[in-house]
Amino acid sequence: MSNSNLFLKSAFVRAPLQNGVGRYVCQLQRIVLKFCKSHGGSRGIRDFIEQDLVNFAKQNPSVVVYLKPRRHRSPAVVAEYLNGDRVWMSMHLKTHSEITKWIEVLRTQQGDVSGARLRKYQYTDHPSLQGPWTPFTFKDPELNVAQLPDPKFGANNRIPMSATEKLRIMFEKQKISDEEVKTGE
Amino acid sequence: MAFIRRYIPLVTQSLKNVYIGEQRRKIHRWVAPTLMALKSRENKQGGKVINPRNTFLEWNLEAELYAFGKRLSENFDSDLLLQAFTDRSYVIKEEMKQKEMEFDIKMKDNRELAEEGRKFMEQYIQLYLETVLPKFPMEGIASIHNHLTSEKVLANVSLHLGTKDIILADEYPVDNYTLANAFKAIVGALLRSSGEEQAAHFVRDFVITNLQGQDVNEFWHIEDPWTMLTDLIAKTGSKLEPRLIGEVGKNTLLACYRVGLYLDKKMLSSGFGETVATAKEMAAREALKKIFGTEDNMYPINFKLNGIPKSSCNSRYQVSAS
């Protein structure tokens, strides 16, 4: 499956509103716990409400907590974030400890992160520190004082050696060494 | 989505006893046409209806206002905060309603607070920018200041502080003007309830930090950098000399020229471009950046200045951009 077929919107790693440059703002603004007072599927969330909810609200005064009892319907948690995201999560048949962990996830994330596909794991506004490349960017400083034309800088040494040339050089070398051998005698 | 969510259990239940050869959940053929029909019905009735969040059953304005203050770790006066969130349009609407029902409760709107907040914010941002960019001229500071206090930036800040749902206005979702106005009013309310320094830190943390990762030169468009540079140099009495220090690919599409600016035979800056004139202009821009202390490799702007900085208007110079 290619990315264009995925129903996930793509995103970069970004902090909303430079969060943390000035001061930290918890991005979860309100959370609604929907549950049934009698049904077995809501057991875990009822336990959470009885044991942990007051502490949760005390530790996070910036989060508005709403409880919404609904008769004979399965439990759910709806988290709303400062950037306008709304995350719905079913808590049906989840245990107390599972719910504690999921609510911690909802509290610490910055929006609907599971609904977005990260294109990269890093992000920068300025991909190049050096600026655009020009022919002068990595210019040899020696050229500044050279007297042109100079065979050192003007030599055309970019074309690779041809096979014929290689053969010719090998032949020359061989000839020289043969002559040396003869003179050695 | 709610429709699919509602019917997915039905779909999956009916499939439980059926062997599925491939690893794919089947979506019935009627689902797409039904959703399309529902969508077209919705469109016929005038598009999707967005219900205001404050008409929901789970809504408590008092709790929301308390959490708003806690979220920003500020202590607001609760009456002032409520006033800051009350838009003029809401007051007008309520007054009309009250006239019909023949009773009268006075309501305060946020115009006064917004005006107060705006004044304070503009003054503070000006002083702050002058302190963190000591060599930047007045016009440049003014354009950064205009950017920071523009409706778009303030509305974005306001939206990300969670004012959208709390604002009392006659429309929902609220427009940018109302959002920005509410933010100014919040600054005004904070100014009244916690004093100047606290309000200043609030503005610094939420408005001025918008400059983070931005190039401050981008906000100020210099029409003719060469004239500006020569005027500046003329005041010091030195001699500015542009020299062509490199040319590549002359008379081709990919021509590149490099011009260096020399001040008393010492290199000030260099720039490149596809013509000599562009290269000279780029070199002049580079030189101006150096003079203003806003080069590409400048230190990041300090966002941690405490208190309200003192004004130093006398030492600041003004450049006339022709």
Q: Which two tokens stand for residue B175?
A: 């427009």
Contact A3, A117 (CB under 8 A): yes
Confidence of residue A181 (pLDDT cuts 50, 70, 90): low
Residue B71 lies in a domain: yes
Residue B158 lies in a domain: yes
Chain B residues whose beta carbon lies within 8 Å of the beta carbon of residue A87:
none
Interatomic CA distance for residues B168 and B166, integer angstroms: 6
- The residue that leads in pLDDT, B83 or A180, is B83
Contact A24, A54 (CB under 8 A): no
Q: Are residues B236 and B145 in the same domain?
A: no
> 3-class SS at B109?
coil
Contact B233, B240 (CB under 8 A): yes
Q: Are residues B137 and B195 in the same domain?
A: yes
Chain A residues whose beta carbon lies within 8 Å of the beta carbon of residue B249:
135
Q: Are residues B289 and B168 in the same domain?
A: no
Poorest-pLDDT segment among A2-16, A34-48, B268-282: A2-16
Chain A residue set in contact with B, beta carbons under 8 Å: 16-18, 21-23, 25-26, 29-30, 32, 61-64, 66, 68, 82-84, 125-126, 129, 131, 134-136, 139
Distance from CA of A17 to the nearest CA of B (A): 7
Q: Are residues B80 and B204 in the same domain?
A: yes
Q: Which of B22, B59, B62, B71 to mutate against chain A (most A CBs within 10 Å)?
A: B71
Residues 98-137 of B with CB under 8 A from A: none
Q: Indicate whether A68 pLDDT > 80.
A: yes
Q: Are residues B78 and B133 in the same domain?
A: yes
Q: Are residues B79 and B109 in the same domain?
A: yes
Buried b (16+ CB within 10 A) or exposed e, A66-80: beeeeeeebbbbbbb
Residue B317 lies in a domain: no
User: Per the CB < 8 Å rule, is A17 touching B296?
Assistant: no
Q: Which residues contact B131 (CB under 8 A, 6 or more apart)?
A: B305, B309, B312
Looking at chain A, list the stretches that DSSP marks H as alpha helix, in order from N- to C-terminal side. 43-51, 53-59, 96-108, 151-154, 163-184
Q: Check if B172 contacts A (Cβ < 8 Å).
A: no
Q: In terms of CA atoms, which chain A residue is nearest residue B69?
A: A62
Average pLDDT over residues A61-83: 96
> 3-class SS at A111?
coil
What pLDDT, on the 0 to 100 scale, is given for residue B204? 96
- Domain count for chain B, please give it: 2
Average pLDDT over residues A73-95: 96
Range of the structural domain that residue B67 is part of = 60-221
What pLDDT, on the 0 to 100 scale, is given for residue B49? 87
Confidence of residue B3 (pLDDT cuts 50, 70, 90): low
Q: Check if B75 contacts A (Cβ < 8 Å).
A: no
Closest CA to A81 of A157, A11, A17, A155: A17
Residues 2-31 of B with CB under 8 A from A: none
Half-sphere exposure of B49 (CA within 13 A, CB side): 6
- Among the candidates B194, B221, B248, a domain finishes at B221
Q: Are residues B180 and B76 in the same domain?
A: yes
Residue B178 lies in a domain: yes
Chain A residues whose beta carbon lies within 8 Å of the beta carbon of residue B161:
17, 25, 82
Confidence of residue B14 (pLDDT cuts 50, 70, 90): very low
Interatomic CA distance for residues B255 and B246, integer angstroms: 11
pLDDT in tens, A97-130: 999 999 999 999 999 998 888 989 999 888 887 8
- The residue that leads in pLDDT, B249 or B322, is B249
Chain A residues whose beta carbon lies within 8 Å of the beta carbon of residue B157:
17
Q: Are residues B89 and B236 in the same domain?
A: no
Chain B residues whose beta carbon lies within 8 Å of the beta carbon of residue A64:
60, 63-64, 67
Q: Which residues pair with B240 in a beta bridge?
A: B263
Interatomic CA distance for residues B44 and B32, integer angstroms: 18
Residue B152 lies in a domain: yes
Q: Indicate whether B1 pLDDT > 60.
A: no
User: Per the CB < 8 Å rule, is B248 touching A136?
Assistant: yes
User: Per the CB < 8 Å rule, is A64 touching B64?
Assistant: yes
Name the DSSP class of B27: -
Closest CA to B137 of B311, B320, B317, B284: B317
- CATH code, domain with B204: 1.10.1520.10
Residue B313 lies in a domain: no
Q: How many H-runs (helices) and E-runs (strands) does chain A carry?
A: 5, 6
Q: Which residues contact A11 (CB under 8 A, 6 or more apart)?
A: A116, A117, A118, A119
Q: Which residues contact B125 (CB under 8 A, 6 or more apart)?
A: B145, B148, B149, B203, B207, B208
User: Per the CB < 8 Å rule, is B212 touching A21?
Assistant: yes
What pLDDT, on the 0 to 100 scale, is given for residue B316? 64
Interatomic CA distance for residues A167 and B3, integer angstroms: 78
- Among the candidates B196, B221, B246, a domain finishes at B221
For the range A156-160, what are the long-range contacts, defined as Cβ-Cβ under 8 Å and sequence gap of 24 or more? none
Q: Are residues B209 and B66 in the same domain?
A: yes
Average pLDDT over all residues of chain B: 89
User: Per the CB < 8 Å rule, is A64 touching B60?
Assistant: yes
Interatomic CA distance for residues B189 and B81, integer angstroms: 6
CA quadruple A50, A53, A55, A61: dihedral sign: negative
User: Per the CB < 8 Å rule, is B58 touching A17?
Assistant: no
Q: Are residues B68 and B216 in the same domain?
A: yes
Q: Are residues B233 and B179 in the same domain?
A: no
User: Per the CB < 8 Å rule, is A68 touching B246?
Assistant: no
User: Per the CB < 8 Å rule, is A61 touching B60?
Assistant: no
Residue B121 lies in a domain: yes
Confidence of residue A144 (pLDDT cuts 50, 70, 90): confident
Q: Are residues B98 and B176 in the same domain?
A: yes
CA quadruple B34, B38, B39, B40: dihedral sign: positive
Average pLDDT over residues B87-103: 92
- CATH code, domain with B286: 3.30.160.20
- Distance (Å) of CA B86 to CA B82, B114, B174: 6, 11, 12
- Among the candidates B221, B249, B272, a domain finishes at B221
Contact B191, B199 (CB under 8 A): yes
Q: State the residue for tokens 């309310």.
A: B189
